[in-house]
Amino acid sequence: MSGSTTDSAPEDEQSGSPVTVEPSARAEDEKVAAVRRVAAAGRRWRAAQLAGCAALLTVALTGGSIAFGALRDGGTATVASTSPAVSPGLMASGDLDAGIEAVQAHLRGQPKDFGGWATLGLAYVEQARTKGDPSRYPQAEQALRKSLELKADNEQALAGLAALAAARHDFKGALAHADRALRQNPYSERALCSRIDALVELGRYDEASKAADLADERRPGIPVFTRYAYVHELRGDVRTARTVLERALSSATGPGDIAYVATALGQLAWNQGDYDTALADYARALAADDAYLPALEGRARAQAASGDRAAAIKGMEAVVARYPLPGPLVALGELYEGRGGAGDKARAGDQYALVDAWTALARANGVNADLDTAMAAADHGDRAAALRAARAEWARRHTVHTADALAWALHVNGRDEEALPYARQATATGYRNASFRYHRGIVELAGGDRKEAESQLTSALKLNPGFSPLGAREARKALKEMAR
């Protein structure tokens, strides 16, 4: 987003009007600096340090699961581009902060405009996503509830609550709100999209596919196309996914939509080991928005996989400097380990310590660690903690990603017999994911099925030979040892 960096505050309790506060760019820099001080201390944090660094969560949590979480395994994110989150008029200038200020000014004069409050709530949700700041979510909820007070069951506010619940990873709540909104307006784009998101993230893929078909019939467009593509990718139908995303890109006009869809295409290509295409897609995304973090991270991963380690490290360092989230932190640490130069082991350890800091801060603030955190802990941290996190996530939802995370956490804790059914479930939909196949191959090998292990590990490397700097190396090592 360009333009103003003014933060937005909720409704003033005395006047009933929305208010604004001073810019927070310096505060966000201080949050990042605070966590880096934690990293310097490694695992020996003092309680005072944790309290002082807790604000980093307002930078990290949203982007970690939505934008970067998808990039960890090369999948396309299941969130919409910027345009459907708020009204077209609000986004016409491409400056969300300025648009929010305009809506706030309108509501000062027209405080009973239920549609204005719904628009403001949706804009806060979008602001949280683009800034990586979940502190906007209470503001969004307050605005959306205000809209419902003014007009019960209005579709705009219900759709906004669905989007808000999905952003908070309350997917059951998102589904319930989306269904309520669709009863009011069966053609609500936001509700149709949130319904797909919720069903996907709950692991109800058959229902998600039907929901995507219905949304495509009712409201074809970029938000629906990207979700439709992801549902097909989860089933292994990469050709349809790419065709739909290319269709979405051809209809995109704004820089935000172009960057979003081109990045999704890059992720899809990277997942299939087509690095040249991925790099071309990321280049198109960055031509539209040269600061778009998912594209910068994706490009670094593609550079690493295609052998340009120096550019990959430089690019990932730039991403981590802005948003030290688990996915890119682990990727950078593994790039350092893969390079193996003087001091690289310590550099990698610093990145993993930052992940540990992020996890500790999340728990200190009552936030459940997401799948990226569970996977990072399994490979580079507290394995018992990884298993607890993976079990908790599995209890909430049964997706291919949670199955894979639980399988791997069980494996690293020496519970391969228990891990095997989850590893097989993670690969059962046809989703073409090299990390999942690698994990299953290692679990199969630990369980004594060398033939299936060889098949899975070979398949992982054939699909995406650079899926992970360390994972790919371990897969080749295991195959070499089996061939002796």
Taking only the tens place, the pLDDT of each residue in 307-354 is 999 999 999 999 998 877 788 899 999 999 999 999 999 999 999 988
For residue 18, what pLDDT is reported? 53
Q: How many CB atoms lie within 10 A of CB 362?
A: 21
For residue 153, what pLDDT is reported? 92
What is the per-residue DSSP string for 417-458? HHHHHHHHHHTTT----HHHHHHHHHHHHHTT-HHHHHHHHH
Of 322, 430, 359, 274, the C-alpha closest to 63 is 322
20 secondary structure, DSSP code: E
Instruction: State yes or no: pLDDT of 265 exceeds 50.
Output: yes
More confidently predicted of 75 and 17: 17
Instruction: State yes or no: pLDDT of 163 exceeds 70.
Output: yes
For residue 87, what pLDDT is reported? 45
For residue 437, what pLDDT is reported? 98
Q: How confident is residue 373, by pLDDT bands cut at 50, 70 and 90? A: confident
Collapse the DSSP code of 465 into the 3-class scheme (helix H, G, I; strand E, B; otherwise coil) and give the result: coil
More confidently predicted of 484 and 106: 106
Lowest mean pLDDT segment, chosen from 101-105, 282-286, 425-429: 101-105
